[in-house]
């Protein structure tokens, strides 16, 4: 694949500047479309995963069962998501700025 890319780059370098610009714009459009398609697919997968377990979770809630962790602070919640010390400091600065 790398060799193919190298060959394509050599061919592109042979084009005049206008043709290179047109090709670059077309590639940008294709990459944007690909990114949108991948995001849509990821969202669809996530929605499917959530939907699969929703009935079970709702039934457990109806039975009064605990269905997940309980967080007693924003910091505890963010840490559970893997927030670093730097990210926590940034979060605290943003909260302080909003309170002023």
pLDDT (tens digit, 9 = 90+) per residue, 14-61?
999 999 999 999 999 999 999 999 999 999 998 888 888 888 888 888
Q: Which positions ≥6 away from 62 have C-beta within 8 Å? A: none
pLDDT (0 to 100) of residue 30: 94
Q: Judge if pTM exceeds 0.75.
A: no
> Percent of the chain beyond pLDDT 70?
100
CA angle 95, 98, 100 (to 5 degrees): 115
H-assigned helices in 1-100 = 2-14, 17-62, 74-80, 85-99
pLDDT (0 to 100) of residue 10: 92
* Mean pLDDT in residue range 69-83: 87
Q: Does pLDDT of 100 surpass 80?
A: no
Count Cα neighbours of 39 within 13 Å in the Cβ-side half-sphere.
Answer: 6
Q: Does pLDDT of 11 surpass 80?
A: yes
Q: Which positions ≥6 away from 75 have C-beta within 8 Å? A: 88
Would you say 53 and 68 are in contact if contact means Cβ atoms under 8 Å apart? Answer: no
pLDDT (0 to 100) of residue 66: 84
């Amino acid at each position: 694949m790398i060799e193919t890319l190298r060959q394509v780059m050599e061919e592109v370098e042979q084009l005049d500047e206008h043709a290179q610009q047109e090709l670059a714009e077309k590639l940008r459009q294709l990459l944007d479309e690909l990114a949108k398609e991948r995001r849509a697919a990821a969202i669809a997968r996530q929605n499917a995963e959530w939907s699969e377990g929703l009935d079970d979770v709702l039934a457990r809630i109806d039975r009064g069962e605990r269905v997940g962790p309980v967080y007693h602070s924003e910091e505890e919640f963010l840490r559970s998501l893997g927030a670093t010390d730097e990210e926590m400091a940034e979060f605290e600065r943003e909260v302080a700025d909003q309170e002023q």
